[in-house]
Amino acid sequence: MKTICQILLCLFLSTSLPAQQFYLRGEVKDESGNPLQNVSILSLRTGYLYRSGGGGAFGIISTQKTDTFSFSLDGYRKEILSVTADNYLSVRLKLQPLANGNLHKANRLLSLTRGLVREEKRKWFAGDETYSSIVENKFIQTRSFPLTGLSLNVDRASYSNIRRFLNMNSMVPPDAVRVEEMLNYFNLNYISPKPGDCFGMQTQVSSCPWNPQNRLFYINLSARKLDLEALPPSNLVFLVDVSGSMDMTNRLPLLQSAFRLLVNNLRAKDSVSIVVYGGVTGVMLHTTSGAEKDSIFRAIDALTPGGSTPGESGIKLAYTMARNHFIKGGNNRVILATDGDFNVGLRTEEELDELITRHRESGIYLTCLGVGMGNYKDSKIQTLARKGNGNFAYLDNYNEAEKVLLKEFTQTLYAVADDAYLNVNFNPQYVKQYRLLGFDNKMGALIDSTAEVEGGEIGSGYSMTGIFEIEPAMGDTVVLEKFADLSLRYKHPGDTTVRYFTHNSFYNFQPLSKLDSSFSFSATVALFGSMLKESVFTKHISWNELLAMAISSARGGDKLEQEFIAMVQQARTIYTRAKGKKKKRNTNE
């Protein structure tokens, strides 16, 4: 009996004592050493699921001194590893390989007239902000070079960035001024294309306000509008910079408000995921239907800044997420929101260029939203957008966010054409020489003898105006012969077939004063850009003359055009004051 009691007592004690517990610790990083947050850590023994936290770290209580776990994250290869309580485990997840491998592209040009001599290099710095050094297009002899081309896009970041400088009572770095993006900002003179056509085009010749002997040649292009009810489903990946440099009101908080506006437009068949990079790189929201707006809003509101800027790992993860949830025939797009200050991983524009080029062939578009001031890296974000088969906007305030992501929702996020490139073939009988306004090229691209022109993305309902300054070889009499042939080369989204849209232009001269206001306003915007760039072609024009043009050409009921007048007034004050100080300094010397 005594023996039986002892046995029962031993059994009782063995079942009532708690099992020994062990603490299994470690961290999860990518191949570059950047922490990965929200990595799924599955215990293969119990089936319990854990996740890595801030800094990619994890800590798991286990009854086993050594346990086996599966580490997985969208876009990365799964790893199955043993974790021992005595050892701190460092897990490195590798990205899933790209199907297309590495694709190298030559430098990209915005415009090209073959055979021209390369320009010498120069560089412009504005404090800590960087801009791609660009060379203003010069006059070209038509008889030697009748054919020229330009890459079309819907970028308009330069205009709102100029507005930001002027509102700061500061001069604008000349290389931050891109005339074609200033013209894009207004979406002027939209005329619906004919039924069945993707594009509509009209041309006009007028007097030149800064050179009475020359003429302006306008090309207005309008893209068809997609039916809002029939828009294809979207697979959107918000790639958000949450590094320490984003901890300012006009950066991350502004982006959070902007993304909320965008989410309000989403439908149930659309999906969103959120990838962040900063102190950690990780998936903050796995692919979620646009109908679950509260879940998306909570993820957006939970974003907090801190840490360095591992842009490389963030971009790679976002593209992999987009590829893993790719919608065939849909709108697959990464939306990168950043001040562009990539200081961990890839840093140079060339490295970023190569990284993005590897992904553009997959059918995933890239929209870039720039924010902030002081260390805003315009040149880097521009490189990403243009190489990523996408577009680029700069958000300097909430109104601009509303314009880009709400009012111009379809232009920003839905393409009707890819690789759009316009050839203009002038008739030397009527044009002695010509100069393209804007579409200026980077120094590096001009120096590179292998540089080529790649077309851009055209959004739904987009209207652009390109302007040439020409020296006529004849008078202003109307002629029936062709003044110029225009040929637009493009592809439908997701299609490899090259298509063409052609237009024959005739010399339909009208004085600037009698033009439709959309054309005369375009000329004023182009002149404003030229004066901000301190162009040699417009240096004799005064700010008062420009202001008079702005007032006469802007429509009274258009808020954007009235705001333009205020910007010209502000620029007149800033640049006149700077000129006075320079003159006084030279006198004293």
Structural contact between residues 148 and 111, judged by C-beta atoms closer than 8 angstroms: yes
Amino acid at residue number 280:
V
3-class secondary-structure state, position 164: helix
Measured CA to CA, the distance from residue 260 to residue 406 in angstroms comes to 10
Measured CA to CA, the distance from residue 268 to residue 292 in angstroms comes to 8
Measured CA to CA, the distance from residue 436 to residue 134 in angstroms comes to 14
Strands 66-72 and 40-43: antiparallel
Phi, psi of 475 (to 5 degrees): -80, -170
**How many Å from the N-terminal Cα to the C-terminal Cα in the chain?**
116
- pLDDT at position 236 is 95
Q: Number of helices and strands (H, E) in the chain?
A: 14, 32
49: which 2 tokens? 């699921």
Measured CA to CA, the distance from residue 314 to residue 324 in angstroms comes to 15
Measured CA to CA, the distance from residue 502 to residue 498 in angstroms comes to 13
Strands 134-135 and 365-370: unpaired
pLDDT tens readout for residues 297-356: 999 999 998 877 666 778 888 888 998 999 998 999 999 998 876 554 555 556 666 667
- pLDDT at position 14 is 47
The DSSP secondary-structure symbol of 192 reads P
Ramachandran category for residue 580: left, alpha or beta (phi over 0 → left; psi -120 to 50 → alpha): alpha
pLDDT tens readout for residues 436-483: 998 876 544 433 333 455 678 888 998 989 999 999 987 766 566 788
- pLDDT at position 410 is 82
- pLDDT at position 244 is 86
The DSSP secondary-structure symbol of 302 reads T
Residues near 206 by Cβ (< 8 Å), separated by ≥ 6? 215, 216, 218, 509, 510, 511, 512, 515, 519, 520, 523
According to DSSP, the residues that pair with 274 across neighbouring strands are: 238, 285
Phi, psi of 279 (to 5 degrees): -60, -30
- pLDDT at position 124 is 37
Residues near 533 by Cβ (< 8 Å), separated by ≥ 6? 136, 174, 177, 179
User: Which residue stretches of the chain have pLDDT < 70?
Assistant: 1-19, 97-134, 309-311, 341-355, 357-361, 373-380, 383, 386-388, 441-454, 476-480, 582-589
| Nearest by Cα to 289 from 274, 276, 303, 273 | 273
Q: pTM of this prediction? A: 0.77
| Nearest by Cα to 505 from 268, 201, 282, 212 | 201
Measured CA to CA, the distance from residue 4 to residue 106 in angstroms comes to 87
Amino acid at residue number 244:
G
Residue 461 to residues 180, 250, 412, 476: CA-CA distances in angstroms? 17, 29, 10, 34
Element (H, E) at 218: strand 215-223
Structural contact between residues 371 and 451, judged by C-beta atoms closer than 8 angstroms: no
Amino acid at residue number 121:
K
416: which 2 tokens? 């009707």
Residue 462 to residues 184, 188, 197, 447, 492: CA-CA distances in angstroms? 9, 9, 14, 32, 15
Residue 30 to residues 67, 278, 312, 449: CA-CA distances in angstroms? 22, 13, 11, 37
Phi, psi of 437 (to 5 degrees): -85, 125
